[in-house]
């Protein structure tokens, strides 16, 4: 039944609790369930608590010894209050109590020989008169049926009006297999549920995880859901609804963004396959327009059905970057627009399939909001004007018909999206009216009504933007914000009374089938996929709200962005990057070049801030200084160093000499290397120590047990043990400990496996005594926490220039907003768009947004300014995403006063600087060279770059070279620290990328008088190369045309020399002084004066 250790924990809990009233005799009720069956409940009555507890404990221990069964779910309730009444009075009380909200237990006699806990009454529908009865009602058949099962004897309920009956409350505790004792609520709507603190981001995430895993378990192999069940008697709901199939999938995708669960992702994939291949039907409309419709039971086409399909597919597209469903979403949208009457501006709600005749003009108002919201979400992805125009047309009718009176959460979602692109007064007014008269309802509604939280969360997003718009200050003033946020928080926390906590679920027919689910109490505790879906969506939004810093009902949203009002010399400039290693990406090199602009031209010293762990960062920075890539005064900081208290550490050479001095170890140098192999006296491998071949400095140590590597230690280049990685049986990192130089734990990172990848799940920060300071659940949360801490500690005004937007943009704007709540005008955030802003270049007007820039471009007014590298990209972004504070500021270069004479160049040598990555298309450059060498056998192409880890590209390129016989004409060289030296000697540079927002390689080549040849792709090549003067362009992918351009240069010495001279003459456009001029213009906009 229950093992004595767990039982003793329950006893200790009761010993520490005092009752408001202490009844004698003492009644204890023991409930136990194995999770497969409804709980059994036994009653123990004694003259004192000790007597009753001894009887309960003796019974439980005896049962455990006999069966060795340790039931998963155990709770003990102690009767704390008894009211004597009659059945007539009880029936009158029930008739005024909403069904399934009666909070008392019932005893039929004062000795509690026949008694029923609140959970038993509800789990067996003993006070449920059916869906037609609004209030609670005695169900005699269910009552007698359960009583006979419980007491094992013939039972007839005497409920004559004058028959006495006893209502009781209890004080109880529950313990599960985790052996944690939970005190239970003694009364109210949450009676019998564990006592909970207010929701925070962690608890929201756990509820979202549990509920989404429940939904995932409902998805069959076919992709269809188990639609729902009535849990009192485990009756499956036999109908199906394809609209709710799609909307539940949408909620699952929202949850997956939070949990990243592989199990959930697999269920989503099955559901989407069923949705797109079976449930959605393609139809050709008049005029040959291709459309699609979701077909529901009875061959109905519901307006809302198409809408939620788009929502699910759009969210999936947003999170995965796939373009797989773009065409289908457009066809579904065509279906929506076909249901919009342009004359009346009203949607038709239901059509017949397949003839598309009208079945119902109007069915439910929610369809209108769903349709408009879906079109907005599709517009967000494709930016096709017709979807936005359709929404605005429909909104003319919504406003005229006063749809806001319905307080529809879908309308709230829609108006929030619409005002991001069309911030019109009438739309904001509609959005405010949609909730303003509903706050009392949100605060007092007894049912959980999860869509109320969705309504409030969408409204909150709209309000937070509205507050930053001075032109609508009068609208914002109309909102009772104190009441609004009080209602929002209250409703979110009230949703926990609709969750099947195990201490509640144990009284229903099959408790474990309810794990993670939410229910609708007044519908017989119904658990249906769409019920759970709305809880999930609301809690996902609420968690995001909490994470972004609105942690209390009195906390106002961030104040509007305010100019810094500071001088440039008084401002702290930060370049937010991922890493500065020995081999660097173009983004990192661009930051180094910008550093020189700030230091040389504006006489300020920015801070380079990195987020990737790099134990050799300081060694790398020293090398950059030695190579004149950074000034000696440069400052490079690391988030890891900051939390490890390792920013100011003197270097001590640690060679691992102590290993040779330990008599318990056998250490020997590895032949031909400076590494050390460490074994036990018996010869078992214990450690393999990797050292720097230059100075014997420890780099890392691999630890082995039984021939299996289980740990890896990293040493900081300054000599101290910095990080210990603990590996699982597959060699993947399970968790990491980051240490201070004194050896104390500073950071713990925990990982979990998702889709065969180890992903970060927790970052825990500890102080020097080992106490936990903070627990963050994502890279973004951790970096936000770091920025807030570092900026506060630094003090003053700050400009955050974000280079690695994937890691730093959201933390930067979140930290800014957090600090602005305390004092506006402290921080400006300026992201740089370093790459093409779309997923592909095939159709840049409709291709999904590059995930690295999605958060920037889809809310383009949130950053204080945005930098593109070319005018053309700035114009394209503005046309698609709207106007923001945008500045085209290209990279700059250290100009040479003179260059060697052209005749000193190896005219037939071509160089190409690009990492070995598929999008750089090295294979196309090789294919072009094959044609060139037929005419010029002395031609040579040298690639320089670093390989992407795990890529087979270098091997593939070697195979290509062998097949073409070009091994002696092409060099696959490693990364070079001095590209300038190669540009000064080569005749041409070559770039074959499929897209380049700028191209440092082309710019540096031109600055060193080395003409560049490239494919004409967006945006950099045509911006940097003046065709026929400083280089040449060829259509993308056309290797014959590319070869012809190279040959045209090699064929004419004079033409070649002319290109070189004109390239060098044009280099002034890339000067640091020119870049500084553009930066000063940006500074003036964010409030920084020279």
Residue 279 domain flag: yes
Tokens of 874: 């700035």
Sheet holding 235-236: strands in order across?
235-236, 228-230, 527-528
The pLDDT assigned to 758 comes to 82
> Which residues are CB-contacts of 46 (< 8 A; sequence separation ≥ 6)?
25, 26, 28, 52, 53, 54, 55
Residues 131 and 207 reside in one and the same domain: no
Q: What angle do CA 994, 997, 999 make, to 5 degrees?
A: 85
Residues 740 and 807 reside in one and the same domain: no
CB-CB contact of 976 with 997 (8 Å)? no
Statement: residue 557 has pLDDT above 50:
no
Please identify which residue in the block is written with the tokens 């609708």.
520
Rounded Cα distance between 414 and 431, Å, is 9
Rounded Cα distance between 609 and 812, Å, is 12
Q: What is the mean pLDDT of residues 756-785?
A: 90
Give how far Cα 842 sits from Cα of 101, 595, 983, 1034, Å: 58, 34, 32, 17
| Closest C-alpha to 257, from 855, 748, 1010, 846 | 855
How many domains is the chain built from? 5
CB-based burial label for 549 (10 Å; 0-12, 13-18, 19+): middle
Rounded Cα distance between 413 and 88, Å, is 48
666-669 and 676-679 strand pairing: antiparallel
The pLDDT assigned to 17 comes to 82
Give how far Cα 291 sits from Cα of 250, 333, 465, 549, Å: 21, 8, 35, 43
**Mean pLDDT over all residues of the chain?**
93
Rounded Cα distance between 818 and 837, Å, is 28
**Whole domain around residue 731: which residue ranges?**
678-767
The pLDDT assigned to 1034 comes to 94
Residue 665 domain flag: no
Residues 884 and 906 reside in one and the same domain: no
Rounded Cα distance between 498 and 189, Å, is 10
The pLDDT assigned to 406 comes to 94
* H-only helix segments in 578-682: 586-596, 617-626, 639-643, 658-661
Residue 822 domain flag: yes
Rounded Cα distance between 678 and 130, Å, is 75
- Residue-wise pLDDT for 823-856, tens only, equals 889 999 999 999 999 887 767 777 778 889 988 9
pTM for the model stands at 0.65
**pLDDT-based confidence at residue 498 (cuts at 50, 70, 90):** very high
Residues 906 and 1051 reside in one and the same domain: yes
Residue 666 domain flag: no
Residues 747 and 883 reside in one and the same domain: no
- Residue-wise pLDDT for 184-243, tens only, equals 999 999 999 999 999 998 899 999 999 999 999 999 999 999 999 999 999 999 999 999
SS3 at position 724: strand
Measured in degrees and rounded to the nearest 5, phi and psi for residue 986 equal -80, 165
**pLDDT-based confidence at residue 556 (cuts at 50, 70, 90):** very low
Tokens of 281: 């039907």
CB-CB contact of 522 with 498 (8 Å)? no
Q: What is the mean pLDDT of residues 547-567?
A: 59
- Residue-wise pLDDT for 348-373, tens only, equals 999 999 999 999 999 999 999 999 99
CB-CB contact of 225 with 242 (8 Å)? no
Tokens of 452: 């109320």
CATH number of the domain where residue 861 is located: 3.40.50.2000
**pLDDT-based confidence at residue 22 (cuts at 50, 70, 90):** low
Residues 1014 and 872 reside in one and the same domain: no
Residues 635 and 490 reside in one and the same domain: no
- Could you say which of 767, 799, 822 is where a domain stops? 767
Residue 90 domain flag: yes
- Could you say which of 742, 767, 792 is where a domain stops? 767
Rounded Cα distance between 414 and 388, Å, is 11
b/e for 819-847, b at 16 or more Cβ within 10 A?
A: bbeeebbbbbbbbbbbbbbbbeeeebebb
- Could you say which of 154, 183, 212 is where a domain stops? 183
Statement: residue 29 has pLDDT above 70:
yes
Residues 171 and 251 reside in one and the same domain: no
The pLDDT assigned to 21 comes to 60
- Residue-wise pLDDT for 874-896, tens only, equals 988 988 888 889 999 999 988 88
Statement: residue 985 has pLDDT above 50:
yes
Q: What distance separates the 2 farthest-apart alpha carbons in the chain? A: 117
Residue 796 domain flag: yes
Residues 353 and 494 reside in one and the same domain: yes
CB-CB contact of 521 with 448 (8 Å)? yes
Residue 53 domain flag: yes
Query: What does R_g of the chain's alpha carbons equal in angstroms?
Result: 35
CB-based burial label for 109 (10 Å; 0-12, 13-18, 19+): exposed
- Residue-wise pLDDT for 441-491, tens only, equals 999 999 999 999 999 999 999 998 898 888 999 999 999 999 999 999 999
> Which residues are CB-contacts of 1069 (< 8 A; sequence separation ≥ 6)?
none
Residues 339 and 471 reside in one and the same domain: yes
With the CA atoms of 779, 780, 785 and 787 taken in that order, what torsion angle do they form, in degrees rounded to the nearest 10? Answer: 110
Rounded Cα distance between 157 and 163, Å, is 10
Residues 753 and 615 reside in one and the same domain: no
CB-CB contact of 855 with 420 (8 Å)? no
Q: What is the mean pLDDT of residues 149-159?
A: 91
The pLDDT assigned to 851 comes to 86
The pLDDT assigned to 549 comes to 60
Residue 66 domain flag: yes
708-715 and 1012-1015 strand pairing: unpaired
Q: How many percent of the chain have pLDDT more than 70?
A: 98
- Residue-wise pLDDT for 258-281, tens only, equals 988 989 999 999 999 999 999 999
The pLDDT assigned to 671 comes to 92
Task: With residue 1012 as reference, give the H or E element that holds it.
Answer: strand 1012-1015
Give how far Cα 321 sits from Cα of 325, 517, 547, 793, 840, Å: 10, 30, 24, 38, 10
The pLDDT assigned to 559 comes to 43
The pLDDT assigned to 351 comes to 97
**pLDDT-based confidence at residue 552 (cuts at 50, 70, 90):** very low
Tokens of 963: 């097949």
Residues 251 and 178 reside in one and the same domain: no
């Amino acid at each position: 039944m229950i093992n004595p250790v767990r039982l003793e924990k329950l006893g200790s809990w009761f010993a520490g609790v005092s009752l408001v009233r202490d009844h004698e005799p003492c009644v204890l009720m023991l409930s136990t369930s194995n999770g497969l069956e409804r709980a059994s409940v036994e009653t123990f009555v004694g003259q004192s608590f000790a007597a009753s507890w001894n009887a309960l404990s003796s019974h439980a221990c005896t049962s455990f010894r006999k069966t060795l069964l340790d039931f998963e779910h155990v709770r003990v309730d102690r009767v704390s209050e008894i009211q004597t009444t009659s059945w007539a009075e009880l029936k009158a009380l029930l008739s005024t109590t909403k069904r399934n909200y009666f909070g008392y237990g019932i005893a039929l006699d004062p000795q509690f020989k026949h008694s029923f806990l609140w959970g038993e009454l509800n789990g067996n529908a003993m006070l449920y008169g059916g869906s037609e009865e609004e209030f609670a009602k005695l169900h005699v058949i269910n009552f007698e049926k359960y009583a006979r099962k419980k007491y094992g004897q013939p039972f007839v309920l005497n409920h004559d009006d004058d028959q006495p009956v006893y209502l009781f409350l209890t004080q109880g505790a529950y313990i599960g297999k985790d052996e944690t004792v939970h005190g239970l609520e003694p009364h109210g709507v949450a009676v019998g549920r564990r006592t909970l603190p207010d929701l925070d981001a962690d608890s929201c995430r756990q509820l979202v995880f549990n509920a989404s895993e429940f939904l995932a378990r409902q998805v069959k192999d076919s992709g269809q859901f188990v639609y729902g069940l009535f849990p009192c008697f485990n009756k499956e709901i036999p109908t199906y609804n394809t609209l709710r199939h799609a909307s539940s999938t949408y909620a699952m995708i929202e949850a997956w963004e939070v949990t990243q669960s592989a199990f959930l992702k697999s269920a989503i994939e099955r559901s989407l396959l069923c949705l797109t291949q079976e449930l959605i039907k393609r139809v050709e409309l008049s005029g040959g327009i291709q459309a699609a419709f979701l077909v529901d039971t009875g061959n109905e086409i519901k307006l809302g059905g198409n809408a939620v399909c788009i929502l699910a597919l759009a969210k999936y597209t947003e999170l995965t970057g796939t373009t797989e469903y773009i065409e289908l979403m457009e066809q579904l949208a065509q279906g929506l627009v076909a249901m919009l009457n342009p004359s009346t501006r009203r949607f038709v709600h239901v059509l017949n399939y397949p003839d598309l005749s009208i079945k119902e003009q109007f069915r439910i108002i929610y369809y209108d909001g769903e349709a408009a919201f879906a079109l907005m979400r599709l517009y967000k992805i494709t930016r096709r004007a017709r979807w936005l125009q359709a929404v605005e047309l429909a909104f003319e009718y919504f406003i005229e018909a006063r749809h806001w009176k319905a307080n529809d959460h879908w309308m709230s979602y829609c108006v929030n999206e619409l005002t991001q692109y069309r911030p019109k007064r009438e739309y904001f007014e509609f959005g405010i009216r949609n909730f303003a008269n509903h706050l009392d309802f949100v605060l007092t509604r007894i049912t959980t009504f999860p869509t109320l939280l969705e309504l409030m969360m969408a409204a909150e997003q709209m309000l937070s933007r509205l507050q930053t718009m001075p032109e609508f200050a009068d609208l914002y003033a109309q909102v009772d914000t104190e009441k609004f946020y009080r209602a929002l928080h209250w409703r979110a926390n009230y949703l926990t009374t609709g969750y099947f906590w195990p201490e509640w679920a144990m009284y229903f027919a099959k408790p474990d089938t309810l794990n993670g689910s939410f229910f609708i109490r007044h519908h017989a505790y119904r658990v249906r996929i769409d019920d759970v879906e709305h809880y999930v969506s609301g809690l996902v939004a609420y968690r995001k709200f909490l994470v972004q810093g609105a942690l209390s009902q009195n906390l106002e949203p961030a104040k509007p962005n305010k100019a810094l009002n500071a001088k440039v010399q008084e401002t702290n400039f930060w370049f937010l990057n991922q890493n500065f290693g020995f081999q660097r990406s173009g983004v990192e090199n661009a930051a180094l070049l910008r550093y020189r602009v700030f230091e040389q031209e504006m006489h300020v010293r920015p801070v380079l801030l990195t987020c990737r762990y790099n134990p050799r960062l300081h060694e790398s920075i020293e090398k950059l200084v030695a190579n004149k890539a950074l000034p000696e005064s440069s400052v490079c900081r690391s988030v890891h160093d900051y939390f490890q208290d390792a920013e100011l550490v003197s270097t001590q050479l640690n060679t691992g000499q102590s290993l040779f001095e330990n008599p318990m170890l056998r250490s020997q140098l590895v032949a031909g290397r400076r590494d050390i192999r460490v074994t036990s006296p018996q010869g078992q491998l214990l450690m393999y120590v990797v050292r720097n071949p230059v100075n014997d400095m420890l780099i890392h140590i691999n630890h082995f047990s039984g021939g299996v590597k289980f740990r890896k230690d990293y040493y900081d280049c300054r000599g101290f043990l910095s990080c210990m990685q603990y590996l699982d049986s597959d060699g993947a990192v399970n968790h990491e400990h980051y240490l201070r130089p004194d050896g104390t734990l500073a950071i713990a990172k925990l990982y979990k496996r998702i889709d065969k990848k180890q992903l970060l799940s927790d970052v825990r920060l500890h102080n020097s005594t080992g106490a936990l300071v903070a627990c963050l659940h994502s890279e973004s949360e951790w970096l936000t926490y770091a920025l807030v801490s570092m900026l506060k500690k630094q003090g003053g005004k700050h400009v955050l220039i974000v280079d690695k937007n994937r890691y730093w943009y959201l933390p930067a704007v979140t930290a800014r907003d957090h600090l602005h709540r305390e004092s506006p005008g402290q921080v400006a955030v300026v992201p740089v768009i370093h790459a093409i802003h779309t997923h592909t270049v095939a159709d840049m007007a409709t291709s999904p947004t590059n995930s690295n820039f999605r958060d920037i471009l889809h809310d383009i007014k949130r950053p204080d300014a945005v930098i593109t590298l070319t005018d053309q990209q700035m114009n394209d972004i503005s046309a698609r995403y709207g106007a923001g504070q945008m500045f085209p500021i290209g990279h700059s270069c250290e100009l040479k006063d003179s260059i060697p004479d052209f005749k000193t160049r190896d005219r037939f040598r071509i160089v190409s600087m690009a990492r070995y990555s598929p999008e750089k298309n090295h294979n196309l450059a090789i294919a072009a060279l094959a044609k060139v060498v037929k005419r010029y056998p002395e031609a040579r192409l040298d690639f320089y770059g670093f390989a992407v880890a795990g890529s087979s590209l270098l091997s593939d390129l070697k195979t290509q070279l062998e097949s073409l016989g070009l091994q002696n004409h092409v060099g696959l060289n490693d990364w070079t620290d001095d590209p300038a030296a190669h540009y000064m000697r080569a005749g041409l540079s070559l770039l074959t990328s499929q897209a380049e927002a700028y191209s440092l390689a082309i710019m540096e080549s031109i600055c060193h008088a080395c003409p560049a040849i490239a494919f004409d792709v967006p945006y950099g090549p045509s911006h940097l190369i003046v065709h026929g003067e400083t280089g040449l362009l060829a259509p993308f992918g056309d290797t014959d045309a590319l070869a012809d351009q190279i040959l045209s240069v090699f064929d004419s010495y004079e033409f070649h020399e002319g290109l070189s001279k004109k390239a060098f003459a044009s280099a002034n456009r890339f000067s640091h002084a020119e870049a500084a001029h553009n930066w000063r213009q940006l500074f003036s906009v964010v409030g920084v004066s020279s």
